[in-house]
Structure 1
């Protein structure tokens, strides 16, 4: 027997067995700890760890990844709810996808986080099973896109209140709130919890930016400005109706906004009714003889001073009458500068026939011819056909007739005036006057044949005939109308000229056949009835050349015309 510290103990078989068990346990524990350390250092997943139901124990990362990929479950369904409605959507449609690598990382981390007891039990083959969920990731952009498509029928944009003019007054069309779904917040929530099987999308009302209450204040202010207004220039006066005044401004959300273009047009209307323009010295028939008539000064509106006053008057609801500032207008041609009648000579004549014209068209030809008859153009001045004519209106004697408008030949006020402008153009062009403005018709008009292309269209407002007097004295425009023969002459008189003018026939560059006829149904005719309302004409591309010889010099110019091919149009009854 052996003793320790001088004490002897019996060393029996019983003691030997205890020591053997203790040493074996220590050996096993040491081995287990060694295995655990190795497992941790080699990132081998500990026994008993499952991910998504797949046993990954004892596998390294690569093996675990292959095992997970071989057993990847299908995407779960997610119930999406919004505003009392619901949809069952595969998670994959919401941007959900398994994330095997993140799952493996979690399993490895779980292995590292085991306590000593768990490691020992795992080493002894008695590890508890640890179930870890399969990790997933969410593509937020895909989630937003899918959610937006689902809730789109629920969403409505807010509608702002708006201001409208209802025949006689301004009024407010009420606003409507909109409905907005917050898909971004829902998508972020899902991305933070990809295991969720339900997803709520919040829906809220969105107010309009402009409400009826806010606009009503401006509407009330605008309606106070809608009233008739009277304008005076000395003893002459004119008026605008309440509707005409309403057209001079806009009622906006920010307040009253003046319409400058409309104000400019209104000023022209006002001044045309109250101004008494100066009258140049002129020639007139008295007792069958042509005599000189003395010029007369005029009194007209001082437009520059009147415009700011008009703007202020429009926005002052208590103001119903406005006195226009005036200025004296001097004539530009005095009787002393007007040559004696006996010194005048016929320089050029233009002619045309309007045979076959309707009674209305013949009336307009006669009225227009009388309006420009006796017009005098001072040297250096430009003749304006529309200025000499005055407005094409019933007040000026004009009636309805066929005109070209909107690609069709239609009834319109003043049809036939172009017969006079064309004849005037022919006279002034043959007199050698420079062309300042000349416009053509859209298609070839038979009234101006056979001199195809030798014509000038006018339209009030917008299209004018303007030619400059470049002679050494005033010129007189005289019209001679022959209603019985439906023939018109325009004569240009002035001081004797040395220049000689030759106008060539049209040079036709191209002729374009007219298209097939068009048939338009109308309830104004009985079924089966047909009426032609437009006539087919070929298109032309042409020019006319003018040669002017004066004192040994020769110069030429030309007038180009491009006529559209025009189709025949028939109305067919439908009633």
Structure 2
């Protein structure tokens, strides 16, 4: 059987083994592309639908604080926020100043939630009209979430006004402290510290809580105090009280230590002179100066000066030839003058001293030239350089008294080199108040009674020691007639020195470089007066015998009536003496033999009559 021949063209839909794999390689990509395109179209459609749905809503995933607002419309979100944020009304702040406190809500202080602005900010996420960016923001919100901080409205002027109202309650002005004196009373006002609330600083503290949405707090008000510095006020007041606690008494003593005064500054006087001054220091603190005007006392204190001044008095000494030392026979005393300035200072210090209100006067002291500790070596006193002795046999007791008193005033005196010795200055006034008594004196051309009779024997004796010692005689006055006392025991005439105060004095100068110490002695058993000069030998002196010329006989005896005498009584009151001119020469050499002085003492004596006093009616009265 033959078969029919078969066609060689394959059937149109029959796959051969070799054609199946290649076909799928083409089909699969096409299928995938088509599926992907379809998926993309589906996603695009979904996104567009999503965005379209949220075109007037907040994208999901957006929160404001703890409130989810995603998916809500702006009005719904605003309502949700208003309901979820009661911060302004419920948050309370307490402002404190010590025990006082003020409470206010955040709303009272100008705080409020701006829900509309906050929702607008939340709605802006994914709604910027930039598809790609909006899609990214929306996706981020969906997958990660976005938190928006609520927008708080804070009106600072409201808070400032509230704090200013508190400040008005707190603020107080400064009252400065003061002191015043009313009579003798001290008035003290300690003042008041100023307090001012620092509103800006307190506001800054408040805002630190508001910006962090603190749910209330206690806030200390910032207070600035204008401190009143009264630290020294009571101290100054106490100083014034001390000043007015009693009078201040000024005292003094005289040279003998006897009390003088007292002089008193009364409390009223002190009060009238006090003054108080407030001093502001560089650091702002203050102090008080309490003082007293001492000028008011100056003239009063100065007026005391004449009665308080004392001259310095040199010590007086004897020289011991054996020890060659000085022995004090009359102690030296310092001179003094009132120191007004220092006295016022003492008064001022006493015014402010509660315990020490009796003030001794202040003096400036002048040391004597020859103080109690001075030595013979310092003065150049080494040995006896001159001496003189006179006699007073037959003298009355009064005459002896005057000789002793005058001699004592010269005993122990030191004469400095170049210094002039003055008999009158050293002996002082010859008067009864100075221990002199009445005796016979030469006055008005005759011998008569007077205070100080016999003193001329002392001046005569010191003259002779100075003359024979070689010292320069600067004043010497002779007697009107020869006095018998001065020529006793062989003493020559022409070496007497008369004294009549204040006109007549005896003076000599220490014309050596050494001091002279004068010693006097009374020898009652010999009726003798002696002067000794101690120093360092500086001269060699030659004194010639007295040259007596032009001798005139004494005048006839005179008799005078004395009602106090009985008949037959006679009292001799003057003695006969020849008149004469007497000259005594001396030559003064240095120890090396150089002539330094060649001079003399000249005296013109008048002839003198003996005078007797007798009773009235005595026959001898007619013969004179």
TM-score norm. by structure 1 comes to 0.45
Larger CA Rg, structure 1 vs 2: 2
